[in-house]
Chains A and B, each alone.
Chain A
Amino acid sequence: MRIDTVLLKVASRCNLDCSYCYVYHMGDTSWRAMPKFMAPQIQTLVANQLFGLFIAQAHPFAVVLHGGEPLMLGAQRLRVLFETLRKTLPSVCPIGIQTNGVLLKPPILDLCATFRVSLSVSLDGPANVHDKNRVNHLGQASHAAVIAGLANLKSHPSAAALFSGVLAVVDPTSDPTEIYSYLKSLGAPSIDFLYRDGNRTTLPYGKQSVESTEYGRWMSKILDHYMADPNPPRIRVVDDMIKLILGGACVKEGIGLTDFGIVVVDTDGSFTKNDTLKSTPLGDRFDGSWTIYSHKLAEVVRSPEFHAYYEAQRPSSPACNACPELAVCGGGMVTHRFERGRGYDNPTVFCSDQKLLIERMRRYVANHLSRRAAA
C-alpha cells in the first residue's frame, strides 16, 4: 500500500458557498469546529511527517492544498507554508492547489511560480451554468471573478508551469455542446469533469433513479464532440477511460482498478479519510482519532484501520465483480456507492451512466480501429 495524494486542508472556510459542496452542504458539519487556517506550527509538523512518510514508503506523493479555499490564507501565510513544504519535502513531490479561482492575483501567482506550485481552477462552464451553483455567501455570482483570475493565471510569465487545468462539475440539465465549446475556448492544458455527489439513497442532482442515465447521456455528448474534434483538448476522465479500454493505464481516482492512496490532514492536524466521504452519513473520520500531535502519519498508514479504509476502495459487490466493464469503471468513487443499511458494498449510483458511456467509447474505438485496419 502506498500513499499517492496528501490533501492538506489549509483553510476550513471558503469565500464561495457553492450549493453542491460536499464540505458544507451534504450533512457534514465538522468544518464549524475546525480552525479557520492550518497554523504554522501544524504546517511544520505536517511537513516533517510527510518527509517521514516519503522515507518510509520510498516513493513520492502529490501534496494538494485544499479547503475550503486554500488561497484564503493570503500571500504571506502561503509563502510560509510553501517555504516549509519545499525545504522539507523532496522536489519529486509535486505541490498543487485546487482553487475556485476568485483570489488568483499576481502576488499569489508569483509565489506559486517561485515555489513550483501548480494550480487547477474549478469552473463549471459559462456564467449561466457556473453561477447556478457557484456563488458567494451573499448569493452573488462568481463567474466574472473566476474569469478574471484565470486571465491573471494565463497571462503570468510562468503560466505554462502553473496552470494544470480546469475542473468542471457536471450539471446534467445543461447543454453539453455549450459546455464543451466553452471549456475548450479557455485554452486550459486539461479539462476534467466530476459528477455531482450523491449516493444510492440520496440521489445526485438530476438523476431520476439509480437506473436512469442522465449523466451518462450528458457525458456521451461530450464524448461525441471530443471524438470528432479536429483539434481536441485533453479531457482527463475520458482519456483515462478510453486508455483502459485500449489496455493502457489510468490516473484518475474512481476509474479503473488501480489502488489510490489518499490521506487528508485537516486544519487542526487530524488525519482523515478521503474527504468526499463527507457526503455520506458514515463520514470521513477514522475511529482512531489520529492527529499530527499524537501519531506519526507513516505509522497511521500501516495501521489495520487505515488498511481497511484503503481496501474499501476495491469494489466488492457481486454485481461489480460480475460486470464485464469493471476494469474500466472500477466501481466508481466509494462515496457514490453508499446505500443506507448496506454501506458501500454496492455498485456506484452512476453504474447505468458509466455503462452507457463505456459502451459508446467502445463503439468509437472499434470503429476507429476498423477504419485503420482497412486503410
Chain B
Amino acid sequence: MTKGSPDSEMGLEAQLELLDLPLDSPALSRLLDEVREGNTEMSRSYNRTYNRHNR
C-alpha cells in the first residue's frame, strides 16, 4: 500500500508480517515510559484545544 487506493486485506496482512521484523521503536518506547510514569497530565501541545473540528 503506498496510496489510499483500495488494497487487498491480504496485502495488508503481508505488510503486518513484515512489521514483525526486529524494531525497537523510539515512539513506542516514549509512550511506554509515559504510561509507566502515569503521565496523564499532558504537555501544553496536548491540551485538547484543537482536536474536534475539520477546518
Measured CB to CB, the residues of A under 8 A from B are: 4-5, 7, 14, 16, 18, 20-23, 62, 64, 66-67, 94, 96, 98, 100, 118, 120, 122, 161, 163-165, 167, 169, 171-177, 189-190, 192, 194, 196-197, 206, 208, 212-215, 217-218, 220-221, 224, 226-232, 234-239, 242-243, 246-249, 251-254, 260, 262, 274-276, 333, 356, 360, 363-365, 367-368, 371-372
B28 to A365, Cβ gap below 8 A? yes
Q: Report how far A237 CA is from B26 CA in the complex, Å.
A: 17
Asked whether, in the complex, the Cβ of A226 is within 8 Å of the Cβ of B35, the reply is no
The reply to whether B55 and A23 contact each other, CB–CB distance below 8 Å, is yes
Neighbouring B residues of A196 by C-beta, 8 Å: 54
Q: By the criterion CB–CB under 8 Å, are B28 and A21 in contact? A: no
**Most B-side CB within 10 Å, residue of A16, A62, A237, A333:** A62
Decide yes or no whether B19 CB sits under 8 A from chain A: yes
B interface with A by C-beta (< 8 Å):
1-7, 9, 12, 15-16, 19-20, 22-32, 34-35, 39-40, 42-55
> B52 contacts which of A232, A253, A356 (Cβ < 8 Å)?
A253
Q: How many A-B residue pairs have CB under 8 A?
A: 179
Q: Is the CB of B35 within 8 A of A173?
A: no
CB–CB B49/A5 < 8 A: yes
In the complex, chain B residues whose CB is within 8 Å of the CB of A173: 3-5
Cβ of A229 and Cβ of B50 under 8 Å apart?
no
A-B residue pairs in contact (CB < 8 Å), sample of 30: A18-B55, A21-B55, A64-B49, A96-B50, A118-B47, A164-B50, A167-B50, A171-B4, A176-B4, A192-B51, A197-B54, A208-B6, A220-B12, A224-B19, A227-B19, A227-B28, A232-B25, A232-B26, A239-B31, A242-B31, A248-B31, A248-B39, A248-B40, A251-B48, A251-B51, A253-B48, A262-B52, A363-B20, A367-B20, A368-B29
